[in-house]
Amino acid sequence: MALETVTLDHLPASQTVHIAYFRNVRNAAFLHSQLLARNPEFEYGFVDASVIVSRLHLLSAVFRAATTASTNSLITPNVHSEIIVSLSPSNNISEAYRRYGISPSTKDLLVVKISGPDGLSHDDIAKHLSQHVEGDQLPVTDENIAPATDNSKVAKYYKLNGLSWLDAIKDQPKKRKEVETLVVGTLAVRGI
């Protein structure tokens, strides 16, 4: 139903990106355990929405992971785990999983699936997700992501504390845009 297939510019046509958003997820512990068990049926990018600022933030990480995959330089087992690491400003993989990936206490969940040319179809993925994720599905929009964002966590993880010019912006939408820009920039320069 609300599984969205997005076309991202400058990605190989063989990679199709699907994204979905669930609020009030009730079985995060189960999904987390499936990931830990490396169950191939649950090979998704499960992102904790509380550390995501916007749709562009999520898609930037997806773009980075997919680009890395297309140049065969993944630093994690697959493109989905690479999405989680791509969200992190550091190269510490286990810390990235803890901070940006699903945990048993995750309430709001963003899901990314990248399928290859012979991979699963949109309907297969939509069906599998609606069967196995217990939560309220919403479209992946900035308006829907905003209420789930934990701004203090974002500031801490992306080292945005103590930027006086940023704190001085009183207009909230403008501030959010600046935070998004800083975060996307941080993702882009990870590891240097």
Contacts with another protein by CB under 8 A lie at 7-13, 56, 59-60, 63-64, 67, 70-71, 73, 163, 165-166, 181-182, 184-186, 188-189, 192
Q: Which is nearer to another protein, 67 or 144 (CB)?
A: 67
Q: Nearest distance from residue 99's CB to another protein, in Å? A: 20
Across-strand partners of 22?
109, 137
Q: Which is nearer to another protein, 123 or 170 (CB)?
A: 170
Q: Note whether 18 and 125 are within 8 A (CB).
A: yes
**Quick check: helix, strand or coil at residue 36?**
helix
Q: Nearest distance from residue 187's CB to another protein, in Å? A: 8
Helix (H) or strand (E) holding 76: none
Q: Nearest distance from residue 23's CB to another protein, in Å? A: 24
Q: Which is nearer to another protein, 26 or 174 (CB)?
A: 174
Across-strand partners of 101?
47
Q: Note whether 111 and 49 are within 8 A (CB).
A: no
Helix (H) or strand (E) holding 16: strand 16-23
Q: Nearest distance from residue 191's CB to another protein, in Å? A: 9
Q: Which is nearer to another protein, 10 or 37 (CB)?
A: 10
Distance CA 84, CA 124 (A): 23
